[in-house]
Structure 1
Amino acid sequence: MTYDIADPGLAESGVRRIEWADRSMPVLRRIRERFAAERPLDGLRVAACMHVTTETANLIRTLQAGGAEVALAASNPLSTQDDTAAALVHEYGAAVFARQGIDRDGYYRHIHQALQIAPDLVLDDGCDLVNILHTERLDLLDGVRGGCEETTTGVIRLHQMAREGALRFPMVAVNDTDTKHMFDNRYGTGQSTLDGIVRATNTLLAGKTIVIAGFGYCGRGLAERARGMGGRVVVTEIDPVKALDAVLQGYRVLPMAQAAEHGDVFITVTGNRDVIRGEHLARMKDGAILANSGHFDVEIDVRALADLAVDVHRGVRPQADEYVLADGRRLVLLAEGRLVNLAAAEGHPAAVMDMSFADQALTCGWLVGQTLLPGVYDVPKEIDTEVAGLKLASMDVELDALTPGQEEYLSSWRQGS
């Protein structure tokens, strides 16, 4: 088995942390037990490009229990936990290609190394692995049965590929299933992003004006939690429906050009590029904090920030760089503009990733038995419902059941009021 990790000596620490996360992942644990008995992935090779965290490690263990051989590359250089990578290699037998803080060339080299497994299935977080398959490793395309995409940014790119007729195998948009985006995006991103900002800056959010760019599920979760911590929340949006939703929830909605003058903390969660640009940076107040929780490091124009600066103080705090402008104002960029919740904190709580990775595991098992044309597919509703039911059961929550009369009423149009 080949691999590229930072320090094999960290494996023991990694095992302890993986097992700690596993305690909060009862749904995935039950699926792992089922996979071990049924072996739905027996003999299959899986290439994954995902955040190398303790939660991901428990997904990899579940796929292995189902019979899969797994190769894993990191989907973000700053989110890799080196002890988790070491444990996956030396304790759990996965081929891992990930080092914390690796440069751009190393990042793409690791994806290529993971693809050397010649995958039957792929798991992606941001569509970089799928992109490389379609641009540089076309020789492997015919062997890929399908795969899953974990994040909004990746799903956007997959739909673009499908519209252009470029996508060569079926991909399931795991991000779009309710037990993923309603909980992972909203509760996970909402909590972990603020966690990362506070760890990196030790700032008090109460009383601050917090500008949130994008009011999808991630933006809603952030706004709820920022307001709950005493922040004055301003939302920027391009979608009239989402903007109206924000207004009716009591948030102030402004264009970024106006919000730039008021914000103390700026958080981007759009999936698009150049959301905060040079003209916005030029209007910001001294000490403004810039954080990104969208997938790629393109939402804040870091080059424009560097061009405006006359000096840069690197590492004024862990994952915080201070850019000094010509007029003396200081803007603080967190995590180099990358995912602040994973670079400056530990990402989503394991209890949330339990559902997202349960969706991933069950969808992999479902894909094996399907014959699908190339395209982007939704997670089957029964998988979504099963994951939600398992999560509720793990929380000792019981539901009502329809009576026969209620079922008949709902299934017939002949009964009036």
Structure 2
Amino acid sequence: MAYALRDRGLLAVGRAGGHGRAEVTKTGRFYLRHGHHPEDPAFDGGGVQGVSAGSSPPASAKADDPLEGGGRGRSPTPYSERPVARARRAKARELIERLVAEGRVRLRDPVDDEIAEWRRVVDYAKRHGMEPQGMHIEKTRFGARGLELFLAEGPHPNSRGLRPTTDASVVRVPRRLSSLRPAVAALRDNEGQLVMSPVLRRRALLMLQGLAAEAMRRGYDVRQVRSYYSRREGGVDVVVDGFAYTVTVKQEFPQSTNPERSARLVVEVDHGRFGRPGRWRDGKARVLEEALGVVLGEIEARALEDARSREHEEKARAECEFRWRAAMEEAQERAVRDQFAEVLREEAGRWQEAAVLGAYCDALDRRLAEPGRAVDEATLESARRWLEWAREFARSIDPLNRLPGMPIPREPTPDELKAYLKGWSPYGLERPGGR
């Protein structure tokens, strides 16, 4: 036990005068006072300022430290009650309430400090079990530089049950940055991306090279990413069956002053999908290099899912187009029928007019045969000429003077078709007015 405490820097073990000697170190005093190691990353500093394994606690700490002759005065404040923890807990509670009520929380064009703080809030909520039962918080890009937080169903992708197993395919990560794939080489030469320490940048490039090489070995395409959310990240597009998936690598805690936390990397695959893992990080039990096979497997699973969705969409579109064509054929038939009906009504009107005029001529003819009163010859001659002209005109407008033929239809206009399309567009499926 003494040697285990010594290894953690809590106890100094030695020999003096032939006898064993153990002395609590300053780090050990801090542990006894606060209940955790001063460099424990789970506490984010938590009010521990200026205290490390090799530094002395402040005078106020000594006054309350039973090993410094104190023991009188205030009892140590629990981490959960310190100002930093209280503020973060309040933000986490507010975030969970908004996510439950609104579904998503979007941050438009946040600065790096805001992003870092929101990540700490999300991490606090996860570590303290504040996420709703059966759900977890996910982060994804929004717009050009925005950040979107939402609740996804199921456990977090990095939970113990979803960690890579020995059955997961292994992606070999090279040891040297040589013979790089073009997309990775372009990223290496772009000093404006993957802005981090040279050691971390080299590690990120090696992982991307290993992932790209394995993807191409499986017959997929790897392309250069055209735009990024932040200068701190970099990645490649893996194209499977025509679907492109952006794989990015970045620091998980770029603002942290803790060497262990700032050295952690995160791999993301467009993780804005409900119910699908999309984010993997360095952990205590494994490093990201061991998860690359799972990342590639997730891309393949998404490609299969997207291919099925595409097939479904193509079938739906084919059915939609079939229904549109059927509606167009019916609309054209009805529009042509309207044209024929218009011709028929016009001819029937002319026929009716000719019949009325013919009846008039017959009546006039009878009147000329029985003048009734003495009428001079000039008036009778004028009436006879008028009767002759009238009969000729009536015959000229009568459509039945010759046998009518089937009218030749013209192409219906879009406006004529609209009346019969029941909401479909006469211009096609992609034009306004289509379903």
Which structure is higher in RCO with an 8 Å CA cutoff and minimum separation 6?
A: 1
Q: TM-score, normalised by structure 1?
A: 0.21
Greater Rg over alpha carbons, structure:
2
